[in-house]
Amino acid sequence: MKLHIGVDDCFGLIHSLTTTAANEHDIVVTDRLLHGEEEQVWSDAGYQGIEERDEHEDREVEWNISVRPG
């Protein structure tokens, strides 16, 4: 099992969470973690390419995604 958590970047308060099986990719549940009023999204390298997914094409946010070490 994995726990995915949406946290406010100003106050550190949890606003959403969901669980998945361990073999489900993190990027799949992102739409369940975002509430729609975000201006910025911060995440680890597992979310690279998220800004190109269809479910986020109308989302006006600044994506801050960690880069995998090369």
Q: Is residue 70 part of a domain?
A: no
The pLDDT tens digits for 4-63 are 999 998 999 999 999 999 999 999 999 999 998 999 999 999 899 999 999 998 999 999
- State the pLDDT at residue 22: 96
Answer for the pair 4, 29: CB distance below 8 angstroms, yes or no.
Answer: yes
Q: Is residue 21 part of a domain?
A: yes
Q: Is residue 6 part of a domain?
A: yes
Number of domains the chain is built from: 1
Give the Cα separation of 22 and 24 in Å (integer). 6
DSSP per-residue string spanning 5-22: EEE-TTT--EEEEEEE-T
Q: Which domain holds residue 51?
A: 2-65
* 40-46-49 Cα angle (round to 5): 65
Of the chain, the end-to-end C-alpha distance in Å amounts to 28
